[in-house]
Amino acid sequence: MQVTEVISNDRIVVLQAQLGEWDNLNHLLVCLSTKQAAIIDPFDGMFWQEVCTKRGWNLREVWLTHSHWDHVKGVKKTKALLGQEVQVRSHAFERQRGWEDEVDHEWTNEANTHTSLTLGSLTFEAHCTPGHTPGHTTFIGEGVVISGDCLFLGRCGRTDLYGGDPNVQRATLRYLREQMHGLPEDWLVLPGHQYVLEDGQTPTTMRIGDVLDSNEALLAVDSDQAWAALPFLAFEDSMAEQARRRRAKDQ
């Protein structure tokens, strides 16, 4: 599996790897002054522990953007390998979609607000960005926006799965757009999946300025007609059918 160094300076290293059959993008953050590392949405816990061991880094944190299986698949293995040495963190609102896995810490900030978190001497913000799931979290700081399945490079995540909501997603994208407008344009957006753009390219990173200028979902949020016409908010597949059945049981 190829690991790409997307950021490297005197403070931080950010590694990216595409893992699994769903084109998941995993991101490892490393504080160089303390050698502490955090893995976001680990697909393969053993893989990331081996990466850290080879480079002399200490994997101490697991941060989850959300609780869909392909984003938490490697959590239990990571915990089995490191035990209490690693802290797993996610947002409490993910419980609203029926997720029951144990974590060490749950953020409780409201939708479209943030709370602060640290990794060694590095500082980040954990923004509650619901719509794809109730407690979806976007991490911002140190030159990156790690957007999970809230915001991809060319579009946004689907909203028809259990716990998703297109109106909530639209409000979230307005909020996230405002946050990104306040950041340097050359910071990188790192999404949770690698998907092809309209021009046929398949990048795994993109400058904030380019995302703001070209992302189809962000460009549609101010128009009811354009938002309703987006083809990727809902799909006719087995996952959508399963979500409909769960919603029917709730009624």
**Tens of pLDDT, residue by residue, the chain (251 residues):** 789 999 999 999 999 999 998 889 999 999 999 999 999 999 999 999 999 999 999 999 999 999 999 999 999 999 999 999 999 999 999 999 999 999 999 999 999 999 999 999 999 999 999 999 999 999 999 999 999 999 999 999 999 999 999 999 999 999 999 999 999 999 999 999 999 998 999 999 999 999 999 999 999 999 999 999 999 999 988 988 898 998 888 87
Instruction: Give me Rg for the CA atoms of the chain.
Output: 17
Render 135-160 in DSSP notation, one character per residue. Answer: T-EEEEETTEEEEETTB-SSSB----
**Residue 8: CB partners within 8 Å, gap ≥ 6?**
14
Report the Cα 249 to chain-centroid distance in Å. 29
DSSP characters over 21-84 = TTTEEEEEEEETTTTEEEEES-S-HHHHHHHHHHHT-EEEEEE-S---HHHHTTHHHHHHHHGG
Q: Which amino acid is at 61?
A: E
- The HSE-up count of residue 70 (CA atoms within 13 Å, CB side) is 13
Q: What is the DSSP letter of 96?
A: G
Q: How are strands ordered across the β-sheet holding 58-63?
A: 3-8, 12-19, 24-31, 36-40, 58-63, 87-91, 105-107
The pLDDT tens digits for 84-141 are 999 999 999 999 999 999 999 999 999 999 999 999 999 999 999 999 999 999 999 9
pTM of the model as a whole: 0.97
CATH code for 3-250? 3.60.15.10
